[in-house]
Structure 1
Amino acid sequence: MEALAQVLSCPVCLELFTPPVLVLSCAHNFCKKCLEKILIRQNCSHVNGQFCCPMCRKIIHLRGRGITGLPRNILVESILEKFKHELESLQAKEQNQLSQICQEHGESMNLVCLTDDKPICAICKLFGDHEPHNIAKISEVYAERKKRFIKDLDWVFQQSERAEQARKEIEKIINELTYTIADVKVMIDAVGASLLKGIRWRMTELKTKLGKEYSTKVEKLQLAANDFQIPRHLYHQMKTLLEQHSNPVHFLQEDKMLRSKIDKLIEGNSLQQDTKEYQISVGQYFKDLIRGIHITNYISSNSDEILANFNELSEVFSPECPAFSFSGEVPNESFCQKVLDFFQKSNEMKQIHTQKVSYRHDNNVSSEMNTFLETEPLPRQSSV
């Protein structure tokens, strides 16, 4: 192999030829890149130029085509490709053999120390540190471990599938949370605007609380989603080892590491998620928003005009409406549900007619809200 490597080496760079390989009229071969450097050193830059072969000093004429006119040695390139392939195979075999040799004694490792769970050679057992330990033939341990490995692989695959399904459920919950937070913001804006600027501090407080709650829940869900990817990664590692391990020693060394991951996965295996924990209550935010406020005191005859001119809300309401009085009273469930049903109906209408939203539509919605609040006096219950 060494003699063949010398034959297939470039006389300039002294390395294996780098294709394309060019052959001169004197039969000497060079890498194209090396030949380009030779031309530069000999100041041969013209397509009709000439240069000396660095091996035999013969004058080579380019004949009007420059270096591209020199023929390629296809035979050498073909032999070089096969040589590299054989060299890689030989190196892989040598590496495979070395991995099965005991580094301490230079003997083949055909035993397994059951106490330390590692491959050893016969001398390690007879005269080495493993003399008092229990041992077994590596072929027997390999067959037993491989069967268990395949069984664990199937289990990890099932866990991976379940984890993937759970991850998709989490993504669905995140999407629902995104839609919910949009609905909550719409509700807060609409109700808060009709309650004058005196409630704006509460609106800001609730939006901040809502953002923190949303961020916390999404962060927990994303962390859970990342955990659900662990079984799939482990499955791919185990499958790759099963299909591509080069020898029993390599397999047993990797099996020990992967089994520790399997044990951790068994200990922390929990693919169930309580979706109720990650929901946001629109009703609770609504109660917090109007807690202690007498809504009927803030509905005037021109409420349609006020809702239509949302940007001028504070200027319109200021001279007409009394200041807010927070008594700590909370509206009862029936009243809250009616108001929430009203906003749900309004949101559904907006989704159907998204492209047709206009000021006229806003006036109709505000008129319906005004009529509702005038016909539904605010029930009160004991303070909480």
Structure 2
Amino acid sequence: MEALAQVLSCPVCLELFTPPVLVLSCAHNFCKKCLERILILQNCSHINGQFSCPMCRKAMRLRGRGIIGLPRNILVESVLEKFKYELENLHAKEQDQLSQICEEHGESMTLVCLTDDKPICAICKLFGDHESHTVAKIAEVYAERKKSFIKDLDWVFQHSENAERARKDIEMRINELVYTSADVKVMIEAVGTSLLKGIRWRMAELKGKLCNDYSTKLEKLQLVANDLQVSTHLYHQMKIFLEQHSNSVHFLQEDKIFRSKLEKLTEGKANQQDTNDCHISIGQYFKDLIKGININNYISTNSDETLESSSEFPEAFKPDCPAFSFSGGIPNESFCQEVLDFFQKSNEMKQEPIQHISHKEGNNIPSEIDISSEAESV
């Protein structure tokens, strides 16, 4: 290998050729970068310039194309590529052999110290620190540990599958949390704009509470989702290691680390947080918003006409109907949605005269009034 390395080395930089490799008419080969430096040193800057070979001193011309016109030695480049490949394989084998040699005694490690759970050589057992320890043949321990490793890999795979399903469920819960939070905000805005200024502070308080409630529960769900991805990552690491470990010593050295990770994963599964309480109740927020208030007292003056002229509203929306008189308990989602739809329809009816005036006078007044601007006028 050393003789071949000398043949494949550039006579200028004394290193293995760096492609492209250029060959001169005298049959000497050089790296392109090295030959460019030679031309600079010989003041050969013209495309028809003359220079001499650094090896044999033979004079030659560039013939009108500069250094680009010099032919490449494809054969040398091909041999060089194969030589580097074999050199890397040889280096890997040497490293593999060195990893199986005891650093303290320079002997092959053919035993496993069961007390310290590490590969050792025979001298370590006879005269070294492991003299009084229990040992076993490395081949036997390797076969047994490998079977156990494969079983653990299967368990991690099943756990990762379950974790992936749970993670998707968490994502659905997060989406539901986002949409429900948006619905709560719409409900607070729609109902709040139809109430008196006396509940302004309550609206602000509920929005702050909703923000904290949403942030806390979202953070909890995201933490659980992240924890559920740990087993998937560990499964891929164990699978890659099982396929790519180089020898039994390397396997046993890393097996201890993976078993420690498995113990942590098992403990983490037992301590997994409960996410059943990570939801937001529209009904509870609605109850807090209208606590001590009769909604009938805050319906606009033209609500009666709105209800009488519309056949789309259910019986529960009519004035003096008990459905609007909330007097305790937590309102259900159906009740909240009915009230929300009523106030939205009422606001739309109040905006129609404004739209009529804008079309009559030719003004570009928006067809919808911003909830926040209307709220300031209450």
Tell me the TM-score normalized by structure 1: 0.81
SS of the residue 1:56 aligns to: coil
1:341 is aligned with what amino acid?
Q
The answer (yes or no) to whether the contact 1:163–1:271 under 8 Å persists in 2 is no
Structure 1 residue 39 displacement after superposition? 2.2
**Equivalent residue for 2:296?**
296
**CA–CA separation in structure 2 for the residues paired with 1:255 and 1:50:** 65
1:135 is aligned with what amino acid?
V
- Superposition pairs of residues 43-82 of structure 1, within 5 angstroms: 43-82=43-82
User: How many residue pairs get matched?
Assistant: 334
- Superposition pairs of residues 1-384 of structure 1, within 5 angstroms: 1-270=1-270, 274-302=274-302, 331-333=327-329, 339-343=335-339, 359=348
**Equivalent residue for 1:371?**
none
Unaligned stretches of 5+ residues in structure 2: 307-324, 354-378
When residues 43 and 300 of structure 1 are mapped into structure 2, their CA distance, relative to the original with a 3 A threshold, is same
Structure 1 residue 339 displacement after superposition? 4.0
1:23 is aligned with what amino acid?
V
The answer (yes or no) to whether the contact 2:190–2:340 under 8 Å persists in 1 is no
**Greater shift after overlay, 114-123 or 261-270?**
261-270
When residues 336 and 237 of structure 1 are mapped into structure 2, their CA distance, relative to the original with a 3 A threshold, is closer
**Equivalent residue for 2:318?**
none
**Equivalent residue for 2:362?**
none
Structure 1 residue 120 displacement after superposition? 0.4
**CA–CA separation in structure 1 for the residues paired with 2:334 and 2:255:** 62
Give the superposed CA RMSD.
2.7
Structure 1 residue 303 displacement after superposition? 5.4
Unaligned stretches of 5+ residues in structure 1: 307-328, 351-357, 365-384
2:180 is aligned with what amino acid?
T
When residues 177 and 118 of structure 1 are mapped into structure 2, their CA distance, relative to the original with a 3 A threshold, is same
- Describe the superposition over 1:27-49 as per-residue Cα deviations: whole angstroms up to 9, x where unpaired: 11111122222223333222222
Structure 1 residue 360 displacement after superposition? 5.7
**CA–CA separation in structure 1 for the residues paired with 2:228 and 2:182:** 28
The answer (yes or no) to whether the contact 2:287–2:330 under 8 Å persists in 1 is no
**CA–CA separation in structure 1 for the residues paired with 2:163 and 2:249:** 32
2:171 is aligned with what amino acid?
E
Structure 1 residue 53 displacement after superposition? 1.8
When residues 338 and 98 of structure 1 are mapped into structure 2, their CA distance, relative to the original with a 3 A threshold, is closer
When residues 338 and 118 of structure 1 are mapped into structure 2, their CA distance, relative to the original with a 3 A threshold, is closer
**CA–CA separation in structure 1 for the residues paired with 2:336 and 2:160:** 41
When residues 189 and 105 of structure 1 are mapped into structure 2, their CA distance, relative to the original with a 3 A threshold, is same
When residues 174 and 361 of structure 1 are mapped into structure 2, their CA distance, relative to the original with a 3 A threshold, is farther
**CA–CA separation in structure 2 for the residues paired with 1:296 and 1:201:** 20
**CA–CA separation in structure 2 for the residues paired with 1:360 and 1:195:** 17
